[in-house]
Structures are given as C-alpha cells and as structure tokens.
Amino acid sequence: MIDFVDPALIDWSRAQFALTAMYHWLFVPLTLGLSFLVAFMETMYFRTGDLAWKKTTQFWMILFGVNFAIGVATGIILEFQFGTNWSNYSWFVGDIFGAPLAIEGILAFFMESTFVAVMFFGWNKVSPRAHLTATWLVAIGASLSALWILVANAWMQYPVGMWFNPETARNEMTDFWAVLLSPVALNKFLHTVLSGFVLAGMFVAGISAWFLLKSRSVPFALRSLRIAAVFGVVSSVLLIISGDFSSRIIARYQPMKFAATEALHDGRAGAPLTLIGIPSQDSATRFTLEVPRLLSWMTFYDGDAFVPGINDLLHGNPAQGLLSAEDKMERGRAARAALRMFQKARREGDTVTLARIRERFADPVFHEQTFRYFGYGFLNDVRSLVPNVPVTFWSFRIMVGLGFLMLALFAASWWFHARGVLPSQRWLLRILLWSIPLPYLAGQAGWIVAEMGRQPWAIQDYLPTVAAASRIDASSVQVTFWLFAVLFTVLLVAEVSILVRQIRKGPEPSASGQPSSELSASDACSAEPSQSGNSKPDSHE
C-alpha cells in the first residue's frame, strides 16, 4: 500500500526530475529534426551526384553527432530516476509504464545507435545507397525512440488499457493497442516531433544566416537555408494544426489543466478566448484582451458550448454533469478502503471477504464510479488540484506566440530566397541568427504546460506525486540535484563550445580536397540541384 512521504522529498524529487527533463529537452528536439534534414540533404547528393550537397550533408551531420552524444547521457539519467526517486510510482504502474520504455531501448535506441556508426564512418566503406539508407534509418530510429517515450508520458496524462490487480496492488496492462493508439499518445507524438523539426529548421536557418552575414561559403549557406525554410514552413503549419488538436484533447481529458492554461476560474457558455491578461491563482484574470466565444468554438466547434472553469471542477456543476472534488475524494477514499480491507482479509485468511472484494474490483461499475478516483483518496485539500495558474497561462501563450513567429520567419526566408535577394536582406538574416534560442524556449514552455499543468498528478486521477515518490532521505536528493545541475551545465557548455568551434570552421573539405570555407567555381555553379545534372556518385565515391 502506498503511503505519504516527506513533503520536502516530494519537492526535491520533482525539482530534480524537472531539471533533468529540461536539460534533456535541450538536446532531443535538435536530434529529431536535424536527423531528417541531414537525410534530405544526403538524398539530394545521392540523386544529383553534386559534391556540394555531400559537403553540406557532412557539415550538418557533425553538428548532429555532437548533439546526439550528449543527449543520450541525459536521457539515461532521466530514466534511472523512476527507480531511484519514484519507486512507488514504478511499483504501482511499472507493468504498463515499463513496456514502452523497454521497447524504446531494445528496438528504437539500438536501431538508432547501430546505424549512426555507418552514417558517420561509412562514407568510403559502403555504397552510397547503403550509406543513405543508414542515414534515413538513424532519422527514423530517433523518431521511433521518441514515440515510445511519448507513449509512456501520454499514458501518465490519460491512463487507459489497464486493470488494477488487488492481489499485488499494481495496475496491469490489458490492451497494449489502447495504450499505443490513445488520442493523447498519437497527438503528443506528432506535436512533439514536429516541434523538433521546427527547432532544427531554425537552427540550420540561423547558422546559415551567420555564414551569409560573414559572406562565407555563400552557396553552401543558401542551399542550407533554402531547405531549412521549406522544412520549417511545412513543419510549423503541421505543428500549429497538431497544437489545435492537442488543446481540444486536453479540454476533454484534463479539464483542470485546460482551465489553468486559459486562467478560466468560472465556466461559461460562449467562453471567450483570452489573448493576454494578468492571471491570478484564485480570482478572475484582469486587463484581458478577449475574442468573444472563440474558446468555446475552438474547444467544441460550438460557439455556445459550456467550457468548465476551475471553480466548476472544484465545487461541481450538476447542470453540466461535473462532480465536485470533495465527491471524488470521498470515492477515492472508498477505493483505498476497499484495498486495505482486501489486504487485511488476505493476512487473516478470510476467504469470504477476499472473494467478495475480488468481485468488487472486477466490476466495471465499481471501476467507473469509484476506483477511477483512487488517486483523490490521497488528497486532503481541494485547492491542491489546481496547478500554478499564472505559470501555466503564460507558458502556453509563450509557446503559441513563438510558434507563429517562427512560421513567419520561415515564410519570409523562403520568399526572399525564391526571389534571389535573401543575401541582401541583412535585417532578416540577423533576426534568424538571434532567433535560434526561440524554439528552445517554446519547447520548454510547452513541457511546462504539459507537466506543471497536470499537477498534482503523477498519473492523472490515479496517483498524485505525494504518493509516488520513493522512501529516501530528502538530503540525498538535494545532493544529487546539485550534482546533476553542475554536470548538465558542464555538458551544455561543452556542447555549445564544440558546436561554435565547428561552425566557425565551416563546411568540411570535400572528397576532392577543396578548401572548407569556400566552394570551387564548379561547385558554386552547381549550388542549385537544377543546375547540377543528374549524374549519381559512383559506388566508391
């Protein structure tokens, strides 16, 4: 049976996990997006035989490799924390949560790490077709790795496909496909991977803009910026669409998180969309700029639909079929009491009571009306169900605002490049260079909404964080928190230093021995694929 632990331990365990996750997410999205950009660039080299495309591919491949190596280190530490800091969580749902993580390690990560060796060291050892295949498999493997991690995270937000076994006090998977194909999992995967694509597009565009501002390797920079702009526009549009679906899914399955993102305290029919304002944890948002009825329409495709607010979810709204938090807490306590009674009967050998309670836990009605609120039985204060409203409100708007800004930058870059005047638009090049941090900021804001917005839950409705942590001393978590903070900062500084050094060096020399910083006249003429002919590289390069 899960009991409470030291509140200080909960705070430090959450802080340590957040620290690790936020550092990890500085590396993962670039890996996801840059792997596909590199694969696209190598495809152009394979199709055209243009050595300029090979040089372009190899330059961005090196930057991908540096980022990939450091991202792996932070990811391993992140997974270990489920066993060290959150062992109660791992016991309660390890049969479900462990499955996608195991698949990620066995299938996706090994696939990715195997072919990355061919990708980096196989240029002159395998055929061009085999090398291109390896590059694409690395990109696909990176996304498959993200898929299983995000399936696990989505299950925490929307737990499905499981049955609670009172014999072991553990949840067991009953439907793998329900876990994999839940609407939360599918949309989270698409939205998260697309955010990585946008980040990689801005990364390549910004660095390419630096080369253009320095008048270095201009054909290389134009080639890279063009593909980044097209990639960025397409990814940004798809990201915005998936974000719209994501908000609708959150409104259905995590209404408290949705209400916090909108700072909506009192539910309304025909609810307006608040663009900006000054939110409060306990009262209505002040100085708002609103679009009438838009929130209701975006959420339910009905401008007159009722959108529940924080107070509706806390105090109940019978007219809208909403239970109060107190009712849910009572049902949660009843579910916990049934489990305690079962454990007592088993200790005492009371077979009659055991059989009766087994039937009760197997009853779908009991599960739907009582056990689904199991986690509420650990809570004493209804206000603990409300996440940090101002942080969630502003994080959501930062994420959305930066998403639209990056779409505009990609579109402008594509437009000026198509007109052949991009190098002269130095104002845009400077904006692109200084915009490299923006997708990182947007990604971090998105994860703040996703994770802080679902507090106090480790598993939505089933297990709060106060019941999920390990029984360890808070001081040990404090020590490791600061050790990890120093370690991750050193790794980040090291990566940035290596990347900056490699970028300043410029594109690597091509196979023909041309200098790294500038292309030859023949390569310059072939900077555009339409001018490079159709010859393919020979099998020995």
Angle between helices 87-103 and 128-157 (to 10 degrees): 150
pLDDT score at 108: 77
pLDDT score at 101: 85
- Does some domain include residue 285? no
- Does some domain include residue 441? yes
Rounded to whole angstroms, how far apart are CA atoms 469 and 495?
32
Q: Which residues contact residue 486 at a Cβ distance below 8 angstroms, ignoring those fewer than 6 apart?
A: none
φ, ψ of residue 180 to 5 degrees: the values are -70, -40
Using alpha carbons, select from 386, 396, 389 the residue that is nearest to residue 456: 386
Using alpha carbons, select from 90, 73, 72 the residue that is nearest to residue 82: 90
Per the DSSP assignment, residues forming a β-bridge with 463 are 459
pLDDT score at 304: 93
- Does some domain include residue 320? no
Q: Which residues contact residue 221 at a Cβ distance below 8 angstroms, ignoring those fewer than 6 apart?
A: 208, 209, 211, 212
| Site of tokens 């050998």 | 349
- Does some domain include residue 370? no
Rounded to whole angstroms, how far apart are CA atoms 177 and 104?
16
Rounded to whole angstroms, how far apart are CA atoms 451 and 8?
19
**Model confidence, pTM:** 0.88
Local confidence pLDDT in tens for the 541 residues of the chain: 445 567 889 999 999 999 999 999 999 999 999 999 999 999 999 999 999 999 999 999 999 998 887 877 777 788 888 888 898 999 999 889 888 888 887 877 778 878 998 999 999 899 999 999 999 999 999 999 999 999 999 999 999 999 899 988 899 999 999 999 999 999 999 999 999 999 999 999 999 999 999 999 999 999 999 999 999 999 999 999 999 999 999 999 999 999 999 999 999 999 999 999 999 999 888 998 999 999 999 999 999 999 999 999 999 999 999 999 999 999 999 999 999 999 999 999 999 999 999 999 989 899 899 999 999 999 999 999 999 999 999 999 999 999 999 999 999 999 999 999 999 999 999 999 999 999 999 999 999 999 999 999 999 999 999 999 888 889 999 999 999 999 999 999 999 999 999 999 998 554 333 433 333 333 333 333 333 334 444 333 3
Cβ pair 314, 322 in contact under 8 A: no
Beta-carbon count within 10 A of 408 CB: 12
- Using alpha carbons only, give the angle 397, 398, 403 rounded to the nearest 5 degrees: 100
**DSSP string for residues in 257-324:** HHHHHTT--S-EETPPEEEEEE--SSSPPEEEEEETTHHHHHHHS-TT-EE--HHHHHH-BGGGTBPP
Q: Which domain holds residue 406?
A: 7-254+388-452+454-531
- Does some domain include residue 196? yes
Distance of CA 91 to the CA centre of its chain: 25
- Does some domain include residue 343? no
pLDDT score at 74: 77
pLDDT score at 19: 93
How many domains in the chain?
1
Cβ pair 207, 451 in contact under 8 A: no
Q: What is the dihedral of CA 129, 131, 136, 139, to 10 degrees?
A: 180
* Rg of the chain (C-alpha set): 26
- Does some domain include residue 474? yes
- Does some domain include residue 342? no
- Is 299 exposed, middle or buried (CB count within 10 Å of its CB: 0-12, 13-18, 19+)? buried
E strands, 374-488, are: 457-459, 463-464
Beta-carbon count within 10 A of 84 CB: 16
Rounded to whole angstroms, how far apart are CA atoms 486 and 145?
27
Cβ pair 223, 52 in contact under 8 A: yes
